[in-house]
Structure 1
Amino acid sequence: MTTFAPEFFIKHTLRADYVAKQQTLQSLWSGYGHISRYHVTVGNSCSSVILKAIDWGQVAEHPRGWQSDLAHQRKVHSYQVELNWYAHWAQAAHSIARMPKYLGHYATGSTLYLLLEDLDASGFDLRCASLDAAQVSVVLHWLASLHAHYLTTDPAPAWPEGLWPQGTYWYLATRPNEWQAMKEGALKAAAEQLDQTIRNCPYQTLVHGDAKVANFCFSADLQEVAAVDFQYIGRGIGVQDVAYLLGSCLSEAQLAEHLDYLLDVYFSELARCIIARGESPDLAEAVAQQWYQLFPVAWADFHRFIMGWCPTHAKNNAFSRRMTQVGLDYLTS
């Protein structure tokens, strides 16, 4: 089956007069493709766009040796989920949670092109490897807006259609090999119960699923933020994103000092957004209380993944082990 050159696809999709590749921004995990910026001319107007070009026909070895057919199928499905998100879901959230605008796609065989707005050109050109407590608040507000917007207390069995039935890239059902690799102990034994506790929460929403700081693009003054990389968006509870975000951008010392404050920031904004949707303050309080209690469970669930995937990872630290124990204690309380 013939695959169109990226330039031809972009030119056809945008009805452009001229298209040229400017630069490759990054390679995708395990060699599944690349993300590039293209210069586009339409009449007298010049702009740039981002192309996520995926080809799962030729895949490199996993950097940590976790290559398997299950891992490959999970990754392939994640790109279809991301396409479904941008094409069918994201438009409804643009006014409350900034992300790239969807411009079009092309799919054939093992090739997928996803064409998106260039956030750098729209004023979100700053990337951060770490944040301080004040700076992370803007991302917590973004997450709270997303979670409130998609909050549901009575999801249909197929909800969210086209996305992951459980969001996050580490959820248990897709990580049996990592679970098997864990040392025997309380965390491994509790893995199913942690997962079930999250799934049984009566307040479900859409979680980004990979809400590390690297997947957020900031304005120059760090007062505005947009998110990218929606391969693992799906059903879950908001604190799954919160736990993963905080662990990705704050040190152990920062977490120990600022966790209570940052959770207050998130839950205050979550309640405000829920009420702004027209829901009752009682519902907003109930969601906040339930998710607050489940924060350590969500943390422990991700720590379960780390302990199977790479137990020597820097995220296996004393703070994370303490928080995981709190989550395990919750299961027996």
Structure 2
Amino acid sequence: MTPDIFIKRQCKARTVNREEVIQSLWSGYGEVARYSLTGNESLSLVIAKHCSLPLEVNHPRGWHSNHGHQRKIRSYEIEQSWYLNWAPRCHISARIALCYGNFYDERTGQRLTLLEDLDAAGYSDRYNGNNSDYLISCINWLAAFHAGFIYQNPPLNWPHDLWTKGTYWHLDTRQDEWSVMAEGELKSAASELAKCLDNARFKTIVHGDAKVANFCFSPLNNQVAAVDFQYVGGGVGVQDVAYLLGSALSESELTENIDYLLEHYFSELGRELMAQGESQAFAQGVVEEWQYLFPIAWADFHRFIMGWSPTHPKNTPFSQKITEQALTQLRRS
């Protein structure tokens, strides 16, 4: 089924026009495009995320394997499951795009996810590195999102129909990258870092790809909404926080602001937890555990970078310092 036919049926539209491609999906797996509609009084624009399996994969950094291919395919399946089964449970302060429907063709592997146009809904601005209020809005979004899905000692198969371990860089799915890492303490400690995160007492659902580019902002009131839930799943909130801060700030900005930004996240997280009915003792327990795990989460991502692309700009002295802090915590434990 073509996207325009699915959109016409799903949205009960008279006409459907493909207006523009917003972006191509990673490694040529499809596109995200904007469509205009007529005939539906309440809906004139929609976003279609269309995954179609490529005949030839062109990975920007040369990484490609059947394992990587299956991970990507699974990620689109999980994103559809997220919008169908989990997204309606999001906290009101963790705004996401509404989903108008999913389509899957077993024969071709084609998937289509039909989403609200957040630009049209007022979230038309993007982070450009100069708006610190937007970064605070992202941190507030993460605190509300994580608090809304908090779970103490969850069962092994939680969360159902999502990645058991969220984030696209976790060790289980990145053995190829780990194997080519330079020998050293970080490579040797990789499984211990992962185990610290996996064995956390307090878990939540993490966005899994919470870079600042995956947030859309309202220029009127600094409100924010998130997109791209391909790697949503179980984890600890500081995995998202570490990835967000590393995506938004330069090394000097991280050095100068990391303490304040972390303090803000944990303050908001505790406030959100108690606002949702948790006790102060429970909120404090979450905050204390995740404070300890922040350097671990940072080092876990740094381990991925050191295998995937050790010359990447994210391999900075600041990142190395936080990673060394995590390794020191492991030695002491």
- Normalised by the length of structure 1, the TM-score is 0.97
> Residue type matched to 2:174 in 1?
R
Q: Is the 1:106–1:114 contact (alpha carbons within 8 Å) kept by the matching residues of 2?
A: yes
Partner-residue secondary structure (3-state), 1:205? strand
Q: Is the 2:133–2:222 contact (alpha carbons within 8 Å) kept by the matching residues of 1?
A: no
Tell me how far 1:128 sits from its aligned partner.
1.8
Tell me how far 1:43 sits from its aligned partner.
4.8
Runs of 4+ in 1 over 3 A off after TM superposition: 43-46, 131-135
1:289 equivalenced with 2:288 (yes/no): yes
1:165 equivalenced with 2:164 (yes/no): yes
> Residue type matched to 1:70 in 2?
H
Report the equivalent of 1:263: 262
Q: Per-residue CA shift, 1:79-134, capped at 9, x if unaligned?
A: 01100000110011152310100100111031001000000000001112435544
CA distance in 2, matches of 1:149, 1:159: 15
Tell me how far 1:160 sits from its aligned partner.
0.4
Q: Per-residue CA shift, 1:288-321, capped at 9, x if unaligned?
A: 0110111000000000000000000000001000
CA distance in 2, matches of 1:11, 1:192: 49
Q: Is the 2:238–2:290 contact (alpha carbons within 8 Å) kept by the matching residues of 1?
A: yes
Which of 59, 67, 80 aligns to 1:83? It is: 80
Decide whether aligned partners of structure 1 residues 181 and 30 sit closer, same or farther in structure 2, where only a CA change above 3 A counts: same
Report the equivalent of 1:27: 24
Partner-residue secondary structure (3-state), 2:134? helix
Report the equivalent of 2:36: 39
CA distance in 1, matches of 2:122, 2:266: 28
How does 1:93-104 map onto structure 2 within 5 Å? 93=90, 95-104=92-101
Percent identity between matched residues is 49
> Residue type matched to 2:119 in 1?
D
Report the equivalent of 1:208: 207
Partner-residue secondary structure (3-state), 1:293? helix
Q: Per-residue CA shift, 1:160-180, capped at 9, x if unaligned?
A: 011001000000000000001
Q: Is the 2:28–2:54 contact (alpha carbons within 8 Å) kept by the matching residues of 1?
A: no
Tell me how far 1:56 sits from its aligned partner.
1.6
Q: Is the 2:164–2:233 contact (alpha carbons within 8 Å) kept by the matching residues of 1?
A: yes
Partner-residue secondary structure (3-state), 2:285? helix
Report the equivalent of 2:111: 112
Q: Is the 1:133–1:254 contact (alpha carbons within 8 Å) kept by the matching residues of 2?
A: no
Decide whether aligned partners of structure 1 residues 131 and 234 sit closer, same or farther in structure 2, where only a CA change above 3 A counts: farther
Report the equivalent of 1:52: 49
Tell me how far 1:17 sits from its aligned partner.
1.0
Report the equivalent of 1:15: 12
Tell me how far 1:59 sits from its aligned partner.
4.0
Partner-residue secondary structure (3-state), 2:104? strand
Q: Is the 1:50–1:118 contact (alpha carbons within 8 Å) kept by the matching residues of 2?
A: yes
Tell me how far 1:44 sits from its aligned partner.
4.9
Q: Per-residue CA shift, 1:35-86, capped at 9, x if unaligned?
A: 0000011255551000000012434221111110000000000001100000
Decide whether aligned partners of structure 1 residues 152 and 43 sit closer, same or farther in structure 2, where only a CA change above 3 A counts: closer
CA distance in 2, matches of 1:153, 1:198: 14
CA distance in 2, matches of 1:131, 1:46: 33
Partner-residue secondary structure (3-state), 1:204? strand
Partner-residue secondary structure (3-state), 1:38? strand
CA distance in 2, matches of 1:66, 1:251: 26
Q: Is the 1:143–1:241 contact (alpha carbons within 8 Å) kept by the matching residues of 2?
A: yes
Bigger Cα displacement from structure 2, 284-293 vs 94-103:
94-103
Partner-residue secondary structure (3-state), 1:52? strand
- Normalised by the length of structure 2, the TM-score is 0.97
In the comparison of the two structures, how many residue pairs are matched? 330
> Residue type matched to 2:178 in 1?
W
Report the equivalent of 2:307: 308
1:242 equivalenced with 2:241 (yes/no): yes
Report the equivalent of 2:189: 190
Q: CA RMSD in A?
A: 1.2
> Residue type matched to 2:260 in 1?
Y
Tell me how far 1:141 sits from its aligned partner.
0.4
Partner-residue secondary structure (3-state), 1:210? coil
Q: Is the 2:166–2:233 contact (alpha carbons within 8 Å) kept by the matching residues of 1?
A: yes
CA distance in 2, matches of 1:81, 1:245: 21
Bigger Cα displacement from structure 2, 28-37 vs 157-166:
157-166
